[in-house]
Structure 1
Amino acid sequence: MTMLELVFSALITIVPDYLYRRYKQGKRWGHEITLFNVWYELRWGLTACAILAVTLITVIFYFHPSTRNISAAFHTVTILSDRGGRVSEVYVANNAAVKAGDPIFRLDTMRQEAAAVTAQRRIEEVEAALGLAATEVAGAAALVEATEADLAQAENDLERRLELAERNDTVVSEQELERLQTAVSGAQSQRAAAFAALDGAKLRQTTLLPAQLESARAALSEAENEISKSTVFAEVDGTVTQFLLKSGDIVNPILRPAGILVPEVTGQGRFIAAFGQISASVLRPGMLVEITCASKPLTIIPMEVDEVQSAIAAGQFRPGDALLDQQDRARPGTVTAFLAPIFPKHLEDIPPGSACVGVAYTSRAKEIEAGEITGLSAFVARIVDGMGIANAIVLRAQAILLPVKALVFN
């Protein structure tokens, strides 16, 4: 890249200076112009060449930033069960392709099945108790009627004896009246007990047993839910990797995941590029980017900037037990840009995770056509935009030399 700028700068600085001294002033190479006095003779051309080369390099790399950190990032799904347990059955093999909803493996469910059977038996028991409760309510109601009849009979007997005592106190004794009073009190107590038994039977029928039935059903639902969660299904279409489960292995959702599922939809058309922070002011959504990847050599893939991350990851921190010292952050961080393909078919043969290099090109053609940039500014903008051809040439040279470097000189 630097050689191109030096050659271009020399063509318009050192070469004209040399031609002027050679043919205008008549100085000859090897006589008046030698290696010993070349600086003095060509000082203006050399100085102008150095200044122009530095300026060109600065302008090109600033307005057309390049990066070696581009990758086809992709998302992975960890294959986890909702609970820990022993593997009972495995349905797929490692590197197998699965569809959403396909079972992957199943945990042992003997304990959950036993809990489900217990809950089902409890439901049947409570339902039978509900049928018995209706009989108990009917019996308690009959008992209430019987106690009310006994109370009415005792009260009638007492009233008749009191009437006889009022007519002739010698006919009815005090002991008999006391006995009848006691009988009435006893009948009242039995009626109260019968009403309490009836209320208890109704409460058991309408509140206690239905609550126990709902609890048993909830326990059954929980056991069935645990059984259903024992089978792990694929959430998306993809490929199962790092999956070496066998029947009898122990799986724990925290300590030992089962494997990784690589979805098919990830990594296609979504590249992440890391540019230097100095490029933050020129990176904009819609910029044209060209990349070349090691997994697809000799190919230039046109992309565009889809989004630029507003934050630089190197500045993040988490609260801890020590104060953050800024000098501990040795790496300054980069500006993250997300790239989208202009022609998605170009990415068909690029596997997710591929490492690439690329160049972004600044273009202000729309602003110039809209009249936002005019006059000398428009002229300079077109020149600066055209300088991106230097980076384009270098990128194509890298694409050509990449197989040689990787296979021969590496």
Structure 2
Amino acid sequence: MLELLFCSALTILPDFLFRRYRQGKRIGYEITLYSVWYELRYGIVACVFLTVSLITTIFYFHPATSAAVAMYRTVPIVPEGIGRVAEVYVSLNEKVEAGQPLFRLDDSEQKAAVATAQAKVDEVTAALTVAETQLATADARIIEARSALKQAEDERDTKAEIRRRNPDAVAAREIERLQNIVDGRAGGLKAAEAEKVTLTAEIETQLPAELRTAEAALVQAQADLDKTLIRAGVAGEVQQFTLRVGDLVNPMMRPAGVLVPAEAGREAIQAGFGQIEAGVMYPGMAAEIACIARPFTIIPMVVTQVQSTVSSGQVRASDQLVDPVQAAQTPGTIVAYLEPMFAGGLDGIPPGSVCTANAYTSYHEQLKDPNLGTFQRIGMHVVDTVGLVHALILRMQTVIAPVKVLVFTGGH
């Protein structure tokens, strides 16, 4: 209607004034209800063409949408395993900080596993201490075996020297007996040295490996125990949290509640524009939104991102072929992300609110180019100027919206 009134003032009104005052035709005589078309045909045709052109220019270069939503993602509150609730630390709609405990599952089984793993660690540690003690004993045995071997060798060598000087003084059998003693004590020394090697291998390799395995089992058991205490992953507000002590929680069935992050939906607005606007939407465009949650308020925004894909064309692997006709029946939109130009711009707008958004094409920088042609310059000025019409329309809708919602739709 605004565009029609504007175009009428430029076409039909001058045509009427020309025929009324230049040609002398009078209303009710030459200009009647039946002769309006014939008398004002040039103005009416020009008004129709100008109105259509103006509306097309406005809505193409300054796109609008009523599908601007403060979307946000919720965090489901679920444990990593099945368990029965033992304690609940928060209540419904309570604000929580990141890392704050929410509830705890029964952990008797996990505590028993931790105790068992800790006992295994203690057992291996004790075995390592005993092995080190045995190693000291093995060193003493080696010294003892070497001393006994040295004594036997000295006695054998002495008797052998005596026999060499006086064969009748020492019998040959005595020499053989002493040699056997030397061999036996040499074997004892090797056995003591082998025992030390075995104990050293246990202390340096086997027992440390067993200790690492036991400690890893303890860490795993402690991790399983920690999983029974469910904490808030982010700061936010707990919603739909109705857990009670004794409830059985199964992550495969349903979450225990929903955590709405504190910053959810308060940083940007996602707006869906028609696919015809793909050629004019770009990051950096100035924009405005009007939300019913803040009546009579226009919030200046800026386009920060434009999604490069359209949701209606996505394909998910399945056992059925995709029919393009189905995608054409529900065409998707070009999603643009709008952020407030000024800090606190979205204050007072609850996450999930649906708003109306306008985006404005601007050729301000391009008009500084001295190489632009005359018609290009005029066209850019026209595009920038008609954006005012769309801005006025948004403000008129903002003024009427509370009355429309409260009176004509019963407050819904």
Both proteins in one fold, TM over 0.5: yes
Cα–Cα, structure 1 residues 8 and 127, in superposed 2: closer, same or farther, change >3 Å? closer
State whether residues 162 and 169 of structure 2, in contact with CA within 8 Å, keep that contact through their aligned partners in structure 1.
Answer: no
Cα–Cα, structure 1 residues 165 and 365, in superposed 2: closer, same or farther, change >3 Å? closer
* CA-CA distance at 1:91 after TM superposition: 0.8
State whether residues 307 and 338 of structure 1, in contact with CA within 8 Å, keep that contact through their aligned partners in structure 2.
Answer: yes
* CA-CA distance at 1:355 after TM superposition: 0.3
* CA-CA distance at 1:244 after TM superposition: 1.5
Whichever residue aligns with residue 347 of structure 1, its letter is L
Within a 5 Å distance, the mapping from 1:16-35 to structure 2 comes to 16-29=14-27, 32-35=30-33
Q: Distance in 2 between matches of 1:205 and 1:302?
A: 72
Whichever residue aligns with residue 387 of structure 1, its letter is V
Whichever residue aligns with residue 379 of structure 1, its letter is I
Partner-residue secondary structure (3-state), 1:388: helix
**Aligned position for 2:399:** 400
Q: Of residues 96, 99, 103 in structure 1, which corresponds to 2:97?
A: 99
**Which of 400-409 and 226-235 deviates more?**
226-235
Q: Does 1:357 align with 2:387?
A: no
Whichever residue aligns with residue 240 of structure 2, its letter is Q
Q: Distance in 2 between matches of 1:161 and 1:358?
A: 116
CA offsets 1:267-287 (integer angstroms, 9 cap, x no match): 224111111122222223332
* CA-CA distance at 1:292 after TM superposition: 1.1
Within a 5 Å distance, the mapping from 1:235-254 to structure 2 comes to 235-254=233-252
* CA-CA distance at 1:238 after TM superposition: 1.6
Q: Distance in 2 between matches of 1:138 and 1:268?
A: 70
Q: Cα RMSD over matched residues?
A: 3.2
TM-score, normalised with respect to structure 1: 0.85
State how many pairs are aligned: 407
Q: Of residues 228, 231, 235 in structure 1, which corresponds to 2:229?
A: 231
* CA-CA distance at 1:48 after TM superposition: 1.8
Within a 5 Å distance, the mapping from 1:10-409 to structure 2 comes to 10-29=8-27, 32-36=30-34, 38-152=36-150, 160=159, 164=163, 172=171, 183-330=181-328, 331-369=330-368, 371=370, 373=372, 375-409=374-408
CA offsets 1:369-404 (integer angstroms, 9 cap, x no match): 564656443333223322122222221221122222
State whether residues 97 and 238 of structure 1, in contact with CA within 8 Å, keep that contact through their aligned partners in structure 2.
Answer: yes
**Which of 302-311 and 34-43 deviates more?**
34-43
Q: Distance in 2 between matches of 1:215 and 1:300?
A: 64
State whether residues 76 and 260 of structure 1, in contact with CA within 8 Å, keep that contact through their aligned partners in structure 2.
Answer: yes
CA offsets 1:177-236 (integer angstroms, 9 cap, x no match): 776665555444433333222222222233323333333333333333333343233343
State whether residues 310 and 334 of structure 2, in contact with CA within 8 Å, keep that contact through their aligned partners in structure 1.
Answer: yes
* CA-CA distance at 1:351 after TM superposition: 0.8
Q: Distance in 2 between matches of 1:217 and 1:249?
A: 33
State whether residues 269 and 344 of structure 1, in contact with CA within 8 Å, keep that contact through their aligned partners in structure 2.
Answer: no
**Which of 321-330 and 266-275 deviates more?**
321-330
Q: Distance in 2 between matches of 1:141 and 1:269?
A: 73
Whichever residue aligns with residue 123 of structure 2, its letter is E
Partner-residue secondary structure (3-state), 1:245: coil
Residue ranges of structure 2 left out of the alignment (5+ in a row): none
Residue ranges of structure 1 left out of the alignment (5+ in a row): none
State whether residues 165 and 172 of structure 1, in contact with CA within 8 Å, keep that contact through their aligned partners in structure 2.
Answer: no
Whichever residue aligns with residue 138 of structure 2, its letter is A
State whether residues 368 and 374 of structure 1, in contact with CA within 8 Å, keep that contact through their aligned partners in structure 2.
Answer: no
Q: Distance in 1 between matches of 2:361 and 2:213?
A: 68
**Which of 140-149 and 268-277 deviates more?**
140-149
**Which of 88-97 and 214-223 deviates more?**
214-223
* CA-CA distance at 1:293 after TM superposition: 0.8
Whichever residue aligns with residue 311 of structure 1, its letter is T
Identity of aligned pairs, percent?
46
